[in-house]
Amino acid sequence: MSQAKGQGEADERYSTLLNNAGAIRAICSAVEGTLGPKGLDTMLVGPRGEVIITNDGVTILEKMEVSHPAARLLVEVARSQQEAIGDGTTTATVIAGALVAEGAALVTRGVPAAKVVAGMGEAIRAAQESLRSRTRTIADLGDPVLRQIARVAGRERDDIAALVLEGAAQLGRERLSDDGFVFADCVAAKEKAASEVWPGLLLGHKLPGHAWVREPTGRRVLVLADALEPESHGEEALATEAGFRLHLEQREQFRSDLAKLQELGVGLVALDRGADPEAEQFCADHGILLLTRVLRKELQRLCEATGALPLKKTALRKPPAALAKALGTAESLSYDDKLERVRLAGAAGHGRFVSVVIGASTREVGAELARIARDAASAVQAAVRGGYVPGGGALELALAADVERFRAQQTGMEAFGAEAVVHALRKPMAQIVTNAGFNPLEKVEEARSAQLAEQSDEIAVDCDTGALMNCVERGVIDPAEVKRHALQAATEIASAVLRIHTVVKMKGHSVNVNETE
């Protein structure tokens, strides 16, 4: 009787932790089946029957309906990984889930959560140091290793890998190493179009029907973080003689401002808002491409590429000589009506750009191919910046051995946290092997023993045969930055979940307190 009572009290004491760990486990199960070359796809079904079929971890996590607060934290891990690196979201999620599961098991056995979290932090720092020492560098953009990285991240699509590498070669190593440049943003998909690498920008906006221009007469670029329209007046103001006169004067001023565009040789006007019908007609009559409601990110890229400065519409009242200083320049401008995109090349801005176009049969297929190509582009850029390491879970398995040696030197209860990290680092290879249909306990132990015997971090499991293989020789490699950030993000989220003592709903909702001692 007393034993049952004690068990009930223990369950109540750890109810918040177990509830959160269960939610994390449920989220992990949705993506871990996609890991590795034998991973399968997930079908996402929307409220109106729309369907997405993908094995991209961040897409699955962002599109799936998640209501549990702890589970949302895990989704943030994937989002953080995607924003920082652009690849490795599934690995980060799997490691985070394993850390939470191992940590929760330790806490329920009586190890203080603070000690577990502290031990995890120390062990991950040791793992990061080992990772740095194991990182190999990319010799140049022609390094065969880079092709393998693009191919692995591109789901073994040689055509996509070739396009990404061509784009990387046109950009150059210096541009890829620029912290402010994101290669993945250069990738776009278009149904019923041919795949290509364009040496410039492709601005994806359909022109207004009555403002269609294929070849603009000018080569200057005007960017307005505003609408291209005269000052507006309310109906009450227009009802008065003074108000109507002011309206006519401002309309005439607006026409004068438009005339400056032709005088300055403007061939492209890009806005983040709409345009007045008179402005649309003026641009069409004078061979000026007009793009309305352009995304802020695209406007920034356009400014960087051409050297244009974003202006407000009031800046159009400046004298032409003053206005010219804010204009960008491009050697070629045209509108591709098949792609429904403006082609801009030879820009005279501060950075080199390319556009990688992925052709597809349908919009849905194109969206998935674009995700694959962006992963490949992100992986290539990450490898150029920070080098590469063996893939297939081999690197994590080697790090687990290093952390195990680190754990043997610990004397306090923090050693339990280090032990949790050891088990979590073995999880990626175990999941890859499981998805390939082999026994993870047997195969991971084989790989671990072989790595220790040969003092190598390159040994993993061949998912086709189950035999051991050398990852680097077989071209199974990953960018080191992907691993580095995945470890950091996974540890941060696991530490946050393990330290949650109570969940309380805030004001505005019905009060629900799940309290532990």
By the 10 Å C-beta count (0-12 exposed, 13-18 middle, 19+ buried), 332 is classed as middle
Q: Which two tokens stand for residue 426?
A: 């073995």
Count CB neighbours of 70 within 10 A: 22
**Which of the four pLDDT bands, split at 50, 70 and 90, describes residue 215?**
confident
Domain boundaries for CATH 1.10.560.10 within the chain: 2-136+389-511
Q: What is the mean pLDDT of residues 202-223?
A: 77
How far is the CA of 319 from the CAs of 221, 260, 326, 352, 496, in angstroms? 17, 9, 12, 31, 57
The predicted-structure confidence for 344-372, as pLDDT tens digits, reads as follows 988 766 678 899 999 888 877 888 888 88
User: In 3-state terms, what secondary structure has residue 465?
Assistant: coil
Nearest C-alpha neighbor of 18 from the set 80, 68, 67, 90:
68
Superfamily of domain 2-136+389-511, CATH level 4: GroEL-like equatorial domain (1.10.560.10)
C-alpha–C-alpha distance, residues 310 and 326, integer Å: 8
- Phi and psi at 379, nearest 5°, equal -65, -40
C-alpha–C-alpha distance, residues 490 and 420, integer Å: 13
Domain boundaries for CATH 3.50.7.10 within the chain: 200-353
C-alpha–C-alpha distance, residues 447 and 512, integer Å: 48
pLDDT at 57: 74
Q: What is the CA 100 to chain-centroid distance, rounded?
A: 24
Determine how β-strand 266-271 pairs with β-strand 289-291.
Answer: parallel
Q: Determine if residue 349 is left, alpha or beta; phi over 0 gives left, psi from -120 to 50 gives alpha, anything else beta.
A: beta
More confident position, 411 or 120: 120
Beta bridge partners of 344: 201, 333
pLDDT at 420: 95
| DSSP H or E segment with residue 341 | strand 341-345
Beta bridge partners of 328: 221
| Fold for the domain defined by 200-353 | GroEL (3.50.7)
Q: Which two tokens stand for residue 350?
A: 């501060």
User: In 3-state terms, what secondary structure has residue 40?
Assistant: coil
C-alpha–C-alpha distance, residues 147 and 477, integer Å: 10
pLDDT at 516: 40
The predicted-structure confidence for 471-498, as pLDDT tens digits, reads as follows 999 988 989 998 999 899 889 889 988 9
The predicted-structure confidence for 41-99, as pLDDT tens digits, reads as follows 888 888 877 787 777 777 787 788 888 888 888 887 777 777 777 677 888 889 999 99
C-alpha–C-alpha distance, residues 205 and 226, integer Å: 17
**How many helices and strands, by DSSP H and E, does the chain display?**
20, 18
pLDDT at 386: 92
pLDDT above 70 covers a percentage of the chain that reads 90
- Phi and psi at 210, nearest 5°, equal -95, 10
